[in-house]
Chain A
C-alpha cells in the first residue's frame, strides 16, 4: 500500500540524512521525499511517499518518531488529504509541435514559463496522476528534460500537523 507520511523535524544539518539513512538501513522504500523549512525557520517539514504493508508502515512511523530531531509524524494518507507535485518539462518546440504543445499545456492548465525559438519550459502542478498524464499526452521524442519536485501533502480541513 502507498502511504504519504508528513513530519516536522528540527531544521539542522544532517537531519535529512538521519531520515534517509533510516529508510535505507531498514530496507524501507522511498518513492519520493521533499523537505523545506516551514513558516518557523527552525523547523522543516518533510513529505515522504512510501509503500509497505501495515506492519511496515507502523514500524516506519515508530522508527521516525524515535529519531531525536523529529518533532511529529503523521500518516496523512490515513484520511482525506491533498497531494501536489510541481513539474518542469523542457520540450523541443518547433514547427507544428509548437502549437500542439501549447494546446496540450492549456488543457492541463499548465503554464509555459520559458520560450526560445526551439523550446518551451512547461510548468505543471497537480497530483502525481495528472503529471503522469501530461507526460504521456505529449510525444516522448520531444521531451528534453523532466524535473519533478516529489509530493507535498497536507491533510484536509481540521487535520493540522503543527507543534
Chain B
C-alpha cells in the first residue's frame, strides 16, 4: 500500500498499539497532524506546552508498562520538549518522541523554526534518528520502539523533515528488527548468581537495597518473594518505592538524604549489601568515601554494565534483566538446602529494630496550623493507600515519599534523577488517561505547580478528574530549608510573593477549587474531593506551616549516617 510519510508514522503508531499521543501541532508536523485527523485508533491529547506533552507521555509510561509517545513540531516545539526528554532519560523511562523538522533542502539554511534537534537532544536520549528518506520511516519507528523498551529503557527521538512526511512510498511494517550493534543482555551470568546466593546466605548483617530498576523490570513480585524467603531487611529508593510493600515488617523505609535512620544505618553497617536496580546515587549513599569506610561485600544486579562500579566498587556484579536474575536466585535458593543463619539474623534484626525504635519519622502535629506531613497522611487514609500519587520536586515530594507508604509498584511517579519541577500535573494526566478507574492525586507545592499550571486547560478539555494537593507554604521550601540550615538564614529569592488565589484560578478553568486553612478541615476537604467531586478536577490549596523542614536529613557532601533527625539536632 502506497502511503505518505505522515500516514506511515501514524500506521506505525497503530502497529505499536499506541493509545495516546501527547502533542502540540506546528508547521513542520502539519502532514502528520493531517494523517492523525483521518483515523481514530490513536488518540491525540492536545497539551498547552510541549514540555507537558513529554511529561504526560512519560507519566503514562511510568504508570503502565508501555512506551509513552509525544509529538512536537520543529524549532521551539523541540526545544520545549528537551526538559521532558531529559527528565525521562534520567529515570530510564521508555518513550518515543516524534519531532518535525524543516524540509530536507532547508536543513542548515537557518530556516524558520529550524534547530539541530538531533544535536540538541543527543546527550539526553537513549538514541535519536534524523529520517532523510520516506522509505526509512517504518524501519526507524520500529527501531525506536525496540530501543526505547529494551535493555535499560529510555527516550528515543525521531526527527522527521516536513518533505519526508509528505513524500510517499510503499508501506510495510517490519515484523521483527535486529540490530547488529544493539543486543541487550537479558539473562544474568549463572556463576555470578551462584556466588551472590552463597554470599547472601553467609551474611551476618545482610541488607537489600532496591531501586527504580525493579519497577522498570516489573520485578516487584520476585523481589518480594526473594526478600521474604531470606527474611532480610529491605529499603526502596525514591525511584523504587512500591517495589516492596511498605506496610511489611521487613521494610525499613526509604534510604538516603531524606531516608529513615534505620535504612541508612542498615545500609552503612551491613556486611553484605544486595543492590537491585539501584545506582548508589549521591542522594542515596552520600559521599562514596564515607560509605566505603565500613567494609562490606556488595552484590549489584543491573541491566546496565556502566551503572556497576561507577561510584562504589562492587564485589559481585550481575548484568541482566532484574526479573530474570531474581527468578534464578529464588530457584537456586529453593532448590538448595542452605538457609540464612538464624542466630546471626536474629542479632542483626535486634540491632535494626533498635535503630527503628528511634521513630525518626515522628513530627510535631498542630491543631492551629496545617502540617504538610499531616495532609499526606490524610491523603493516604482517604485514598486507602490505593491511589496513584504524582509529585513535583521539593519538600512536598519528600513528604509524599515519606508519609504515603506504597505497597505496589507504578503508583508513585516523580522526577527522581533530573528533579524537574512542573512534572506533577502532566504525570497525573498521563496516569489518569492510562488508569481512568483509579484515583490519581498530584502532591505539589505552590512553586512547582506554577511551572506547568497551563495544563489545567488540558485537564478541562479531556475531562481528567485528578486531585491536586497543593502544599502551599509560600516558599520554595527546599531552597528555604537549605538557606536556613547552611546559608545563615539569608532567604535569597526563595519566597513566593503575589500568588494567585489557586481555588479561583482552578474555578476559572471550570474546575473545583478549595482553600483549606485549618487542620480540622483537611480530611473533610479530601473526602469531598474524592467522593462528591469524584468526576471533577479538584484543586486543594492547603495553607501549610511555612517553616516546616524535611527530616531526617543528610547534608549534601556528608556521609550517609551523619544525619539530622529533627529540628532538635540543629
- Supposing A14-B118, A59-B306 touch, asked if A68 and B123 sit within 8 A by C-beta, the answer is no
User: Is the beta-carbon distance between B122 and A68 smaller than 8 angstroms?
Assistant: no
A53 within 8 A of B: no
Decide if A71 touches B181 in the complex (CB within 8 Å): yes
**A17-B122, A18-B122, A21-B123 known; A71 vs B180 contact (CB < 8 Å):** yes
With A68-B181, A68-B182: A21-B306 Cβ-Cβ less than 8 Å:
no
- Which residues from chain B contact A59 at a C-beta distance below 8 Å? 306, 310
Q: Which of B302-359 contact A (CB under 8 A)?
A: 304-306, 309-310
Contact of A55 among B126, B130, B309 (CB under 8 A): B309
Q: Is B119 an interface residue (CB 8 A)?
A: yes
B518 at the A interface (CB under 8 A): no
- In the complex the two chains form, is A66's CB within 8 Å of B304's CB? yes
Per-position binary interface string of chain A over residues 1-33, scored 1 when its CB falls under 8 Å from any chain B CB and 0 otherwise: 000000001100110011001000100000000
- Nearest opposing residue in chain A for B127, CB measure: A68
Known: A55-B309, A62-B305, A68-B182. A25 touches B147 (CB 8 A): no
A163 touches B (CB below 8 Å): yes
Chain A interface residue count, Cβ-Cβ cutoff 8 angstroms: 20
In whole angstroms, what is the CA distance A58 to B308 when docked? 10
Say how far B148's CB is from chain A's closest CB, in angstroms: 11
Cβ–Cβ < 8 Å partners of A25 in chain B:
123
Task: Indicate whether A146 reaches chain B with its CB closer than 8 angstroms.
Answer: no
Contact (Cβ within 8 A) A66 B306: yes
Contacts of A69 in B (CB 8 A): 181
A144 to B118 CA separation, bound complex (whole angstroms): 39
Bound-state CA distance A80–B374 (Å) is 66
Contact across chains for B180 and A163 when beta carbons are under 8 A apart: yes
Contacts A21-B122, A21-B123, A69-B181 given: A14-B130 contact, CB under 8 Å? yes
CA–CA, A13 to B119, complex, Å? 11
Interface residues in B, total, Cβ within 8 A: 17
Nearest CB on B from A10, distance (A)? 6
The answer to whether B306 touches A62 (Cβ under 8 A) is yes
Contacting residues, chain B, for A62 (C-beta < 8 A): 305-306
Residues of B within 8 A of A10 (CB): 181
Nearest CB in chain A: distance from B170 CB, A = 23
Given contacts A59-B310, A71-B181, A163-B180, A65 and B305 within 8 Å (CB-CB): yes
Q: Which residues of B contact A17 (CB under 8 A)?
A: 119, 122
B132 (CB) vs chain A CBs: closest residue: A13
A74 to chain B, nearest CB (A): 15
CB neighbours (8 Å) of B130 from chain A are: 13-14
B152 CB to nearest chain A CB (Å): 8
The residues in A between 49 and 103 inclusive whose CB is less than 8 angstroms from any CB of B are: 55, 58-59, 62-63, 65-66, 68-71
Interface membership of chain B positions 115-142, coded 1 if the CB is closer than 8 angstroms to chain A and 0 otherwise: 0001100110011001000000000000
A85 to chain B, nearest CB (A): 28
- Give chain B residues whose Cβ lies under 8 Å from the Cβ of A65: 305-306
Least CB distance from A155 to B in Å reads 21
Task: Indicate the member of B118, B304, B306 with the most A CB atoms within 10 Å.
Answer: B306
CA distance A63 to B304 in the complex (A): 10
For residue A68, which residues in chain B have a CB less than 8 angstroms away from its CB? 126-127, 147, 179, 181-182
Q: How far is the CB of B144 from chain A (nearest CB, A)?
A: 11
The residue in B118, B119, B123, B147 that gathers the most chain A C-beta atoms within 10 A of its C-beta is: B123
The answer to whether A63 and B306 have CB atoms under 8 Å apart is yes
Provide the bound-state CA to CA distance between A163 and B197, in Å.
Answer: 35
0/1 interface trace, chain B 170-183, chain A, CB 8 Å (1 if under): 00000000011110
Give every chain B residue within 8 A of A71 (Cβ-Cβ).
Answer: 180-181
CB-nearest residue of chain B to A71: B181
Across the interface, which residues of A come within 8 angstroms of B304, CB to CB?
Answer: 66
Q: Give 9 new A-B contacts, CB below 8 A, not counting A17-B122, A69-B181.
A: A14-B122, A14-B130, A21-B123, A55-B309, A59-B306, A68-B147, A68-B182, A71-B181, A163-B180
The 5 closest A-B pairs by CB, nearest first: A62-B306, A68-B127, A71-B181, A62-B305, A25-B123
* B binding-site residues for A, Cβ under 8 Å: 118-119, 122-123, 126-127, 130, 147, 179-182, 304-306, 309-310
- A/B interface sample: 12 pairs, CB < 8 A: A18-B122, A21-B123, A25-B123, A55-B309, A59-B306, A59-B310, A62-B305, A62-B306, A63-B306, A65-B305, A68-B179, A68-B182
